[in-house]
């Protein structure tokens, strides 16, 4: 599953969860970006994008209230994930998302 985090303009953060497919976090993010409904990245490519967290499996509690903390420090967004186990959860910054999207578009469009 993926959690898209975006800024609301007043230092608030909005979370949007969705199901994605893939064998690892990068494939899950690629599915979000290029899969049906992804509109080749338009779903997450906007000025307020903070990042995307991809978690293995579907977790109803995560979908309802992801244990993700986002705060702004030194002009950068810091993403931390409560209780994350190694290899289970991966956080992608907005720059990471943009870079993967550019690679996918170059390869597949």
Single pTM value for the model: 0.86
Per-residue model confidence as pLDDT tens for the chain (109 residues): 999 998 877 768 888 888 899 999 999 999 998 876 655 555 556 678 899 999 998 888 888 888 999 988 787 889 999 987 778 899 999 999 989 988 988 887 7
The domain in which residue 77 lies consists of 2-108
Looking at the 3D structure of the chain, how many domains does it have?
1
φ, ψ of residue 48 in degrees (nearest 5)? -85, 0
* Surface-to-core class of residue 12, CB atoms within 10 Å of its CB (0-12 exposed, 13-18 middle, 19+ buried): exposed
Question: Can you give the length of the chain in residues?
Answer: 109
Contact 53, 97 (CB under 8 A): no
| pLDDT attached to residue 70 | 92
15 vs 25: CA distance, rounded Å: 18
């Amino acid at each position: 599953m993926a959690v898209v985090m975006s800024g609301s303009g007043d230092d608030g953060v909005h979370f949007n969860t969705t199901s994605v497919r893939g064998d690892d976090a990068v494939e899950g993010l690629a599915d979000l970006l290029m899969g049906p409904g992804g509109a080749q990245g338009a779903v997450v490519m906007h000025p307020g994008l903070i990042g995307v967290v991809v978690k293995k499996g579907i977790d109803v509690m995560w979908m309802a209230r992801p244990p993700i903390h986002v705060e702004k420090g030194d002009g950068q967004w810091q993403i931390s994930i409560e209780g994350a186990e190694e290899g289970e959860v991966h956080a992608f910054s907005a720059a990471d998302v943009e870079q993967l999207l550019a690679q996918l578009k170059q390869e597949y469009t």
